[in-house]
Every structure is written in structure tokens, then in C-alpha cells.
């Protein structure tokens, strides 16, 4: 290889490396990140636990996670979500309608329940089985300050009150729970920052 061609290739390589460095540095390196996620199934009971870090304070994150009007902006699985009037005990209530498909089997799921709140450190959502498509559904968010951001520990348990296709159904439910949570992180953080989340 001639000296001129070698110098030309080195210039191209250095330009490429410089461009990559600019691209990497342009990202927000402290953006939301998932640190742990696990999905388990025991008969008809599904459990999910995840730990994620958000580059926002706990107050902003708490405000988003207690506003069910925003939930349909987290994930495409939730097609409708809203806050309802408090129950007779004064507890905030919520409504969500989700849609999901396993191969050619599709289903719409409704959850209606109440919240137990400990501002700005804990949110617990319990679903009312008489008004929902779940025999049991409970979510718990713990918000813990860490550095300049917030560590979010999320636990979810559910027992469906509908037929799940055997063999393949549980596999798809577990996969949807894991992948859906990961994809929602950036959108939740954007909303907590007062920004428009990425489209689905």
C-alpha cells in the first residue's frame, strides 16, 4: 500500500472515530437505566420485580406515576387510562384498559382499583377483582433517592381472571412483562422531565 493511500485511510479512520466520539458524548449518559428485572410464574400467579434508575428527582417521578391520565403514554399495551373519583374511604382510584395478543388470540383487559400513597416514597395499586379482569393484581413502586436521581423498585403480582392459551400463553405473558417494562423507562423519565416522550 502506498504512503498516500495509507495517509488517506488514516484520515478517514480518525474522522470516523471523531464522529463516533461526538455521537457518544451527545447522549445523556445518566439517562434512565434498568439494573435488574426478573419475571416468575407459579401456576396462574405471575410476579415481576425490576430496579431502575431515573435521572429525575423522586417528586417529579412520583407525580407521573400517580397520574393515570399519563399511563397510556408509557406503553402501547395500555390503550386507555384515567384517574377515577376517590372511593368511600377517600382513596384515589384508577382505571386502565390494556390490549395484548398471543399469536392469533387477542384480549382486552380492564383494571380498576385504588391507590395507597406515601408521598413521595411509595405507591401501591390494588385492583378490585369484582370490577376487573384479574383475580389479583397488585403493583408497588418504591422511590429511593440515589445521587442526583431516583432508584425505582417496582413489584407486580397478578392472577388473570381469563383464559390463557396453554404452553405458549404463559411464555408470551412473561416476555411481554419483561420487555414492556424496559421500553417504558425512557418515556416515564421524559414525562417526569416535562418533555414529550418518544412515539411508540
Range of the domain at 118: 31-192
- Whether residue 200 is contained in a domain is answered as no
Query: Average pLDDT of 189-196?
Result: 94
The DSSP code for 197 is: P
Task: Please give the pLDDT value at position 173.
Answer: 72
pLDDT tens figures, 138-176: 999 999 999 999 999 999 999 999 877 665 667 767 666
- Whether 3 and 70 map to the same domain: the answer is no
> Do 78 and 160 belong to one domain?
yes
59 and 128 assigned to the same domain:
yes
| Tally of domains in the chain | 2
Q: What is the pLDDT of residue 7?
A: 46
Whether residues 176 and 126 share a domain: the answer is yes
Q: pTM of the full predicted structure?
A: 0.79
* Same-domain pairing of 83 and 141: yes
| Length of the chain (residues) | 200
Same domain, 95 and 22: no
- Does one domain contain both 1 and 97? no
User: Taking a C-beta distance cutoff of 8 angstroms, is the pair 59, 121 a contact?
Assistant: no
Residue 191 clears pLDDT 80, i.e. is over it: yes
* CB-CB neighbours of 197 under 10 Å: 16
- 25, 56: one domain: no
Q: Is the pLDDT of residue 17 over 80?
A: no
Q: Output the pLDDT for position 15.
A: 35
Q: Domain containing 148 — which CATH number?
A: 3.30.530.20
The four Cα atoms 63, 64, 70, 76 give a dihedral, to 10 degrees, of -160
* Angle, helices 168-192/58-65, rounded to nearest 10 degrees: 130
Give a yes or no: residue 166 inside a domain.
yes
Instruction: Determine contact, residues 124/140, Cβ cutoff 8 Å.
Output: yes
Let me know if residue 77 belongs to a domain. Answer: yes
Computed over every residue of the chain, the mean pLDDT equals: 82
Q: Which of 109, 103, 112, 125 is nearest to 162 (CA)?
A: 109
- Each residue of 29-60: pLDDT tens digit? 337 898 998 888 898 999 999 999 999 999 99
Q: Do residue 5 and residue 94 come from a single domain?
A: no
- Residue 199 inside a domain? The answer is no
Residue 164 C-alpha cell reads as 390463557
Does 198 map to a domain?
A: no
Q: What is the pLDDT of residue 107?
A: 83
Looking only at the bridges linking them, the beta strands covering 93-102 and 105-118 are: antiparallel
181 and 103 in a single domain? The answer is: yes
pLDDT value of residue 52? 94
Residue 88 within a domain: yes
pLDDT tens for each residue of 62-111? 999 999 999 999 888 899 999 999 999 999 999 999 987 766 778 899 99
Amino acid at each position: 500500500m502506498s504512503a498516500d493511500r495509507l495517509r488517506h485511510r488514516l484520515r478517514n479512520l480518525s474522522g470516523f472515530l471523531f464522529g463516533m466520539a461526538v455521537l457518544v458524548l451527545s447522549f445523556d449518559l445518566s439517562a434512565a437505566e434498568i439494573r435488574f428485572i426478573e419475571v416468575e410464574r407459579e401456576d396462574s400467579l405471575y410476579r415481576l420485580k425490576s430496579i431502575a434508575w431515573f435521572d429525575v428527582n423522586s417528586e417529579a417521578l412520583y407525580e407521573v406515576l400517580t397520574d393515570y391520565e399519563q399511563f397510556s403514554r408509557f406503553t402501547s399495551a395500555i390503550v386507555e387510562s384515567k384517574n377515577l373519583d376517590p372511593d368511600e374511604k377517600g382513596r384515589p382510584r384508577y382505571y386502565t384498559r390494556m390490549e395484548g395478543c398471543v399469536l392469533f388470540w387477542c384480549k382486552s383487559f380492564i383494571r380498576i382499583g385504588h391507590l395507597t400513597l406515601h408521598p413521595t416514597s411509595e405507591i401501591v395499586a390494588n385492583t378490585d377483582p369484582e370490577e376487573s379482569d384479574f383475580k389479583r393484581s397488585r403493583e408497588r413502586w418504591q422511590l429511593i433517592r440515589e445521587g442526583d436521581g431516583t432508584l425505582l423498585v417496582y413489584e407486580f403480582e397478578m392472577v388473570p381472571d381469563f383464559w390463557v392459551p396453554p404452553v405458549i400463553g404463559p411464555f408470551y405473558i412473561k416476555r411481554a412483562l419483561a420487555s414492556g417494562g424496559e421500553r417504558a423507562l425512557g418515556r416515564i423519565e421524559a414525562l417526569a422531565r416535562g418533555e414529550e416522550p418518544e412515539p411508540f
